[in-house]
Structure 1
């Protein structure tokens, strides 16, 4: 039996409407976007890509910004649980710097990495020290490293994980949030599931996949935390992709059902993984 088989075909609903295949890797239980474009920058149009914006003009943007503000406090509370305030925090893919801004106000020593120039300028405007690449960090080490819905975007996955490991102190904490393609909303919406977000999302993780890819670097999952709001937001976008209209009632229903089923299965739309560098 081949290690890699076709899972489904989806497309870029956000910018180009190009078609992409999701290939299943049975070794890691992960889906891989094929082909991976050589020029990924053109798929991150700041007018369309909501996580690189602080705007709240449309209803969808208002919902996104409201949920973001609520979850920011939850994220800071989570890092406080795993390390003392005043320690070093690196946020990879920091976007416009909102999370680091809040953490800095709670006495964390913050550094961000953001490849997108538009988002990086917004982070720097908030007085957040922000670099374009991990290679600019030299030999620095951090107590906590976070990637909030970023890991799925990174090319050369194994190389990136190895670099992240090198930046983490012994007994340090790595916190990662990623979509879960085994959730109910993913199974229901299939190729229209917004969290596939091809080709910006290159890798699509299950809980097993996260454990597999990080075990190679001796990073161990110690806690898995659901992101309850994601099922509603992803369902809203998925409804739009599937039916070309934003049906809020249908989206809320599907998001609710996804969370309800995940109570027993553990397969929430998105999950936060806490990993330790032993």
Structure 2
């Protein structure tokens, strides 16, 4: 049952500066953004929303793109481990399609879903098969379905999980990457933690919540992996939100502390979950 208890008050640092509550859901050990706007598209209308851009103009963007190139190779290596029954992948929330383009060049049959029209157009320019909504995907079953920092954005969470399950092959693999609100950097930056990103992030997961939610849909977490770079990236943004300016040294220090703490606790800034049907 959802407790009517505010865990933290945050705000939309990126677009509107509006205030939102993070409410604790004790059933799933997660936080829920309240209120959840009906016009969510309006909160993505920001030129600096980095996951919808391929730009590398500023120092921050250049660092982001360099790290992204490295993580793309890691992602391909990961999905190749789970391609025993075929190599077709659906990436939900594919942004500008860089991951899918990289997968396509590595002999994967690729499909993507991206609701943002600007990001989708950039993905289509890469000659990728991209649609606006999950409902527009045909009846094909996928060997791998990935959501890289996307699950937290999806309204009607349970309904989306059912749709995803219906198009995943029986032996298929579901890969989910999400921020972890129990990380050291989340505890340190509190309301200024950039990975809360309200109201674009509707749900804020713990390891327990991912396990419990997907158990109800007969999925089992078979592996959990850290995303080491996320603590640095999130700390960079969080420093700006907290102090009004970017401080690279402080952000690197906090990101490092977060990773060092997580080596003991397992609570990294972001985590990748590998899930299989039970």
Normalising by structure 1, what TM-score? 0.98
Q: C-alpha separation between the residues in 2 aligned to 1:147 and 1:273?
A: 10
Q: C-alpha separation between the residues in 2 aligned to 1:269 and 1:117?
A: 29
Match of 2:254 in 1: 254
Does 2:30 align with 1:30? yes
- Structure 1 segments (4+ residues) deviating >4 Å: none
Structure 1: any 5+ residue segments left out of the alignment? none
Structure 2: any 5+ residue segments left out of the alignment? none
* Counterpart contact for 1:86–1:109, Cα < 8 Å: no
- Identify if the C-alpha distance between structure 1 residues 174 and 273 changes in structure 2 by more than 3 Å, giving closer, same or farther: same
Does 2:79 align with 1:79? yes
Match of 2:63 in 1: 63
Match of 2:205 in 1: 205
Deviation at 1:46, TM superposition (A): 4.2
After superposition, residues 64-213 of structure 1 pair within 5 angstroms as 64-84=64-84, 87-213=87-213
CA deviations over 1:3-58 (Å, ceiling 9, x no partner): 34210000000010000000000000010000000101111124121000000111
Q: C-alpha separation between the residues in 1 aligned to 2:166 and 2:156?
A: 16
CA deviations over 1:75-123 (Å, ceiling 9, x no partner): 0000001114952100000000000000001100000000001000000
Q: C-alpha separation between the residues in 2 aligned to 1:77 and 1:131?
A: 25
Match of 1:238 in 2: 238
Match of 2:268 in 1: 268
Normalising by structure 2, what TM-score? 0.98
CA RMSD of aligned residues (A): 1.2
* Counterpart contact for 1:237–1:246, Cα < 8 Å: yes
Q: Secondary structure at the match of 1:268?
A: coil
Match of 1:49 in 2: 49
Q: C-alpha separation between the residues in 2 aligned to 1:277 and 1:95?
A: 27
Deviation at 1:158, TM superposition (A): 0.3
Give the count of matched residue pairs: 278
* Counterpart contact for 1:20–1:34, Cα < 8 Å: yes
Q: Secondary structure at the match of 2:275?
A: strand
Q: C-alpha separation between the residues in 2 aligned to 1:245 and 1:183?
A: 23
